[in-house]
Amino acid sequence: MKLIRITLGVILAIVAVNAFGGGYYGMAGAKDIPLYWLHGSPFKSYFIPSLFLFIVLGGSCLYSSIVVFRNRKSAKTASVFTGILMLVWITIQVLMIGFVSMLQPVIFITGIIVLGLALSLKAQPDN
């Protein structure tokens, strides 16, 4: 069980750092990312999706990582939510802009791994 917790916590922390970095990059203008990828989406720039990536996905991953490492009662619920959020985020992204990066299937697979590891966590007593 400890190996599952450590693995899950590390994955969540890595995804959080990635989401914070990607979110910041997008909010700063996403230099070198074609704006035409957004054609057909409700967005005219990368700012709003990047803000969501930074705050919601990055924040969820960071929170989940912390509660997993601290072995809190909320670890399983938070991590399941975050795994589902990752899957929904990347699915919506691909539906809106299409397949444009190998990072997309990596994030999808990582979301499945997070969800699987989270579901395997045992419920914790109040702490």
Model confidence pLDDT, tens digit, residues 10-56: 999 999 999 999 999 999 999 999 999 999 899 999 999 999 999 99
b/e sequence 77-115, b meaning 16+ C-beta within 10 Å: ebbbbbbebbbebbeebbeebeeeeeebeebbebbeebb
C-alpha distance from residue 102 to each of 5, 30, 95, 107, 108 (Å):
27, 17, 15, 9, 10
Name the pTM for this structure.
0.92
Model confidence pLDDT, tens digit, residues 54-75: 999 999 999 999 999 999 999 9
From CA 1, how far away is CA 117, in angstroms rounded?
10
